[in-house]
Structure 1
C-alpha cells in the first residue's frame, strides 16, 4: 500500500484522474483502481496501452464517427457501437454536443460526468451518473493526459458531450465525457487568524503557500488548524477529493508540493485512502474551499521509517487546499 500523499501523475499512466472519476461510482472502497468488468469501474489510466500508435488513423476517426450517443447533456448518455467487437488502433475523440457554458481551456481542472462501455460487447462498465457522483479531469497541453481528448476538449464549452475511445490491452473502451464546471486551483473562503506556536503561512498571488517554521517543540498529537474556511461540501469518509498541498518538515524543510508538481492531487476514498494516516484522519470533516494546516506526528506519518526526503520519526506539516469532493 502506498503511504505517501505526494506523487506526480506520470505520463505513462495516462492521467490517473480518470481512475478517480469512475472510482466515485464504484463499490470497491480499497482505494485502488478496479479492473474493468460489468460490475466494477473502468480505469483507462491503468489499462490504456502506452506502446500503441500515438496518432489515430483515418480508419480510427471513421470508426468513432459511427458510434451513436443519445441523451441530452446532464443525463446519462446511451452509447451504441456500430458493431461488436468494436476497436480502434489509437486514442481518438470527437465532439457530440459543443456545450453552451464557459469555454474550456488548456490547464482547466474540470468536474466531469463520465460513462464507459466495453468495445467487446457494448456493455456499460462504469458511469458516474448511476450514483449521482462526479469526477475530475485536468486538460493538459503537454501530452501528459490523453492528447486526443484534450485537443478536442479545448474546442468545447461546459455542458459539452465528447465521445472518445482508448485501447485497453487488446480491448477498446468507449467513453462519453461531459465537463460540468471548472474547479478552482486554490481555497476560497474567509481567512482564519493564525494560532500561536504553529508554523505560519503566507500565500503567493496564485495561492501557492510558503511555510515559516515554528520555534517551539512539535505537538505530540495531530493538529488540524483551519487557515481559510470554505463553504462547500463537507468531506465525508469514503469521498474522493482533489487537493493542492505543500509539505514540509517541522523545521521548515520542504519535501513536496503539488503547486510545484504542476497539478492538483486526487485522493480516492479519504478516510481509508492510500495516504498517510494523518491525511485520512485530518481531512475528513473539512469542506470544499477550506485551507487547513495539518501538523502530523510521526505515528500518523512514517513512524520510524525514512521516506525519500523525509527522515525517520519526522513531524510533518502540510498546507492543504480542498478543491473538490464527491
Structure 2
C-alpha cells in the first residue's frame, strides 16, 4: 500500500484534530527551518532542532499556475511531515526522505491480495534511506512522489487546510504548525509531543471530482445498464444485454470527461463496481467506500498492480469519464477464477468513474 495510506496513524490524524487558527504572521520560537527545491522535485528540508513556533507560519515555496483549491475539495497531495522538536521525519511521499524506524518497532503493512479484493492493486513499497541530523538529501531530478487524496473539510488537520485551501494547483507550500494546528494531543501515536511544532511540506498536484455528471449518458444497445439509487451506482442490469459478450476487451464511454488523460504511470482516483457478465449482483465495489481508491491506494495505471483488462481498458480515459469495461477471462482471472464469485473463464464487467488523474 502507498506509504501515507498505509501509515494508519498519520492517515487517521489527518482528520479530527484540534481547532486553533494559523496565519502567515512571523512567530517567535527557537531553532530554524530551511527548505529548498521547487514543486515536483524531491525537497531538501533542514531542521535545526529543536525548532518551534508560537504561531503557525505558512510559506509558499513555489506558486502554481493552476486553479485555486476550494474548501471541501478532494486534492491529490504529496505530503512530508516532520517533528520540529527532534527533526525526525514522521512520514513522507518521497520514501527516501523518511527517517527509518528502529528494527524492533517495525510492523509490515498488509496489502490485500487479488483473491481477497478482485481489482485491488498489490502496490510496491520503496525502501527507506537514512536522513541524519534533521536534514533530507537533495535531488535535482523530477520526482513524482507517492500522492495521497485528502478531502479538505473542517475536520481535516488545520495545517493541511492552511497549506492547500486558497492555494493554486502546482504550488509547494510549507507550514510550521504549532501543536493545536497540527496533531495536538493525538500526536503521541506519531512520537510528536502535545507542544511540539510540526513541519508540513505539501505539493498540490490536482483535484478530483466528487462524482461524474451522467445526465447525458446513454447505454449502447446490447450493453448492461448501470443501476443507481440516490445517485450512487449499486449494480449492473443485464436484462437487455446480449447473452454472450463480443470476444476480447470491450470499452465504451458512457460519459467522456474533459480532464487529464490517464496513461502509464498516472495516479488515478476512481469509483468502480464489478459484476460477472450476466450475474445478478456485484462481486466488488468502492462506491460505498470513504475514498475513491482501491484498498486505500490510488491506482497507478499500467504497472501490473491490477488485472490486465484495467491497465489496458483505462489507458487514454480522461478524468470526468464513466466507462464500461467488458474484460475476458484471459485479461482477468483466467482459468483459475477468484474467490467464490468469479469462476474459471468468467467474463467481468466494470463500471468505472474516473474522478481525477495526476
**Which bracket does the TM-score occupy, shorter chain normalised?**
0.5 to 0.7
Q: Does residue 319 of the first structure (1) align with residue 351 of the second (2)? A: yes
Is the 1:291–1:319 contact (alpha carbons within 8 Å) kept by the matching residues of 2?
Answer: yes
Report the equivalent of 1:260. Answer: 288
CA gap 1:48/1:243 in 2 versus in 1, 3 angstroms: closer
5+ residue gaps, structure 1, are 1-15, 20-42, 57-63, 88-93
Is the 1:114–1:129 contact (alpha carbons within 8 Å) kept by the matching residues of 2?
Answer: no
Q: TM-score, normalised by structure 2?
A: 0.57
Quote how far apart the aligned CAs of 1:278 are.
0.8
Report the equivalent of 2:108. Answer: none
**SS of aligned partner of 2:287:** helix
Q: Does residue 138 of the first structure (1) align with residue 150 of the second (2)? A: yes
Is the 2:212–2:353 contact (alpha carbons within 8 Å) kept by the matching residues of 1?
Answer: yes
Report the equivalent of 1:112. Answer: 77
User: Mean alpha-carbon deviation: is it higher for 284-293 or for 127-136?
Assistant: 127-136
Report the equivalent of 1:233. Answer: 260
Is the 2:40–2:203 contact (alpha carbons within 8 Å) kept by the matching residues of 1?
Answer: no
Distance in structure 2 (CA, Å) of the matches to 1:315 and 1:125: 48
Quote how far apart the aligned CAs of 1:230 are.
1.0
Residues 163-198 of structure 1 show CA distances to partners (whole Å, capped at 9, x for unaligned) of: 48999999xx96512446541022348845322111
Aligned length: 263
Report the equivalent of 2:119. Answer: none
Quote how far apart the aligned CAs of 1:136 are.
3.7
Distance in structure 2 (CA, Å) of the matches to 1:129 and 1:111: 21
5+ residue gaps, structure 2, are 19-28, 81-91, 100-130, 177-181, 192-197
Residues 196-221 of structure 1 show CA distances to partners (whole Å, capped at 9, x for unaligned) of: 11111244554536421125113331
Match of 1:153 among 149, 160, 165: 160
Is the 2:40–2:143 contact (alpha carbons within 8 Å) kept by the matching residues of 1?
Answer: no
User: Mean alpha-carbon deviation: is it higher for 231-240 or for 286-295?
Assistant: 231-240
**SS of aligned partner of 2:265:** coil
Distance in structure 2 (CA, Å) of the matches to 1:65 and 1:312: 63
Distance in structure 1 (CA, Å) of the matches to 2:351 and 2:244: 19
Is the 1:248–1:316 contact (alpha carbons within 8 Å) kept by the matching residues of 2?
Answer: yes
The alignment yields a C-alpha RMSD, in angstroms, of 4.6
**SS of aligned partner of 2:311:** helix
CA gap 1:291/1:96 in 2 versus in 1, 3 angstroms: same
Report the equivalent of 2:326. Answer: 295
Q: TM-score, normalised by structure 1?
A: 0.62
CA gap 1:228/1:319 in 2 versus in 1, 3 angstroms: same
